């Protein structure tokens, strides 16, 4: 694990070479096809050295949930185990790691008919009235949700009407956690300034590699928009706004770098509270040996 631009891919390649295994990507941006430069997706040469799974698997118009990731990751873990290989999970999407390791709450899938019925009720009586309904069936959830938060009220009532159980009750029942011994490592520079420099340098390299043209291709499809998870990815939203004429080039660069720094900050916050984690220093030539030694 590690923040963006910390050197995860380079270390992963070394590990794959040493252990003769493959990478299972734990990254919510690498799943999208046609989004290569802005996600720093491993190139063909890197993938030849370290085969990567769970990249390029969905179109940017589609969504890919944590539940989707857990299902797919577990299938690939089993495949690699059956080949006698130790799966190597690499990425910076901490919610994916958490969901994989701890399991997910068994919440039901969305039901379009029930959602439409709730929308109709809200149109007639207002969302505060539906919030009062929620207070009757799930007071704990209602206490955390604003009386006008239509999206969360709708989902909480939808869950109750589908399952007959409150969202609070279902969330307290986790799916089975990962049933394997797991060795967890995080890589990052100990000096935050070094990470900021790496982020800025990588953003400039992305621009030189043709990041603008990559996002322009997505923009010209006309079926994508800024509210999609794919276009909300760090860097893509800022470049999209530039192409749309909403900001100038310098502002795009500034916002893109700033957004990437904020992402790294959130990732590090997650990692600082992570249990059973061994820290590695970005760029340290002894990282591979440290991991190998810790596993023996």
Report, as an integer, the average pLDDT of 178-205: 95
The CATH number given to 112-171 is: 1.10.20.140
Q: What are phi and psi of 187, to 5 degrees?
A: -120, 135
More confident residue, 245 or 172: 245
Domain boundary assignment for the chain = 8-104+176-295, 112-171
Residue 6 annotated in ligand binding: yes
DSSP 111-146: -HHHHHHHHHHHHHH-HHHHHHHHHHH-HHHHHHS-
167 in Cβ contact with 103 (< 8 Å): no
Residue 5 annotated in ligand binding: yes
pLDDT digits (tens, 9 = 90+) for 111-144: 989 999 999 999 999 999 999 999 999 999 999 9
* pLDDT of 109 higher than 90: no
- pTM comes to 0.80
Residue 3 annotated in ligand binding: yes
* pLDDT of 174 higher than 80: no
Rounded Cα–Cα distance for residues 268 and 248 (Å): 30
Tell how strand 52-53 and strand 23-26 pair up. parallel
Rounded Cα–Cα distance for residues 30 and 49 (Å): 18
pLDDT of residue 176: 66
Residue 7 annotated in ligand binding: yes
pLDDT digits (tens, 9 = 90+) for 220-239: 999 999 989 999 999 999 99
Rounded Cα–Cα distance for residues 19 and 87 (Å): 10
* CATH T-level fold of 8-104+176-295: Rossmann fold (3.40.50)
Residue 39 annotated in ligand binding: no
């Amino acid at each position: 694990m590690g923040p963006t631009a910390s050197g995860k891919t380079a270390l992963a390649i070394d590990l794959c070479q040493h252990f003769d295994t493959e990478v299972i990507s734990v990254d919510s941006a690498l799943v999208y096809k046609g989004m290569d430069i802005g996600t720093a997706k491993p190139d063909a040469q890197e993938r030849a050295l370290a085969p990567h799974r769970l990249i390029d698997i969905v179109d940017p118009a589609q969504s890919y949930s944590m539940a989707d990731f857990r299902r797919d990751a577990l299938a690939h873990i089993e495949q690699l185990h059956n080949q006698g290989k130790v799966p190597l999970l690499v990425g910076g999407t901490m919610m994916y790691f958490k969901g994989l390791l701890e399991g997910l709450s068994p919440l039901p899938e969305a039901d379009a008919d029930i959602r439409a019925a709730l929308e109709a009720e809200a149109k007639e009586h207002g969302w505060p009235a539906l919030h009062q309904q929620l207070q009757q069936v799930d007071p704990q959830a209602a206490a955390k949700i604003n009386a006008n938060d239509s999206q969360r009220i709708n989902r909480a009532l939808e869950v109750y009407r589908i399952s007959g159980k409150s969202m609070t009750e279902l969330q307290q029942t986790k799916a089975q956690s990962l049933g394997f011994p797991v060795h967890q490592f995080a890589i990052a520079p100990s000096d935050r300034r070094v990470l900021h420099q790496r982020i800025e340098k990588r953003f400039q390299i992305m621009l030189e590699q043709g990041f603008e043209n990559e996002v322009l291709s997505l923009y010209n499809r006309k079926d994508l928009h800024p509210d999609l998870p794919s276009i909300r990815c760090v860097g893509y939203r800022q470049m999209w706004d530039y192409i749309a004429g909403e900001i100038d080039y310098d502002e795009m660069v500034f916002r893109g770098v700033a957004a990437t720094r904020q992402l790294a900050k959130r990732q590090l916050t997650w990692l600082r509270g992570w249990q059973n984690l061994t820290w590695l220093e970005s760029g340290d030539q002894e990282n591979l040996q440290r991991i190998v030694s810790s596993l023996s």
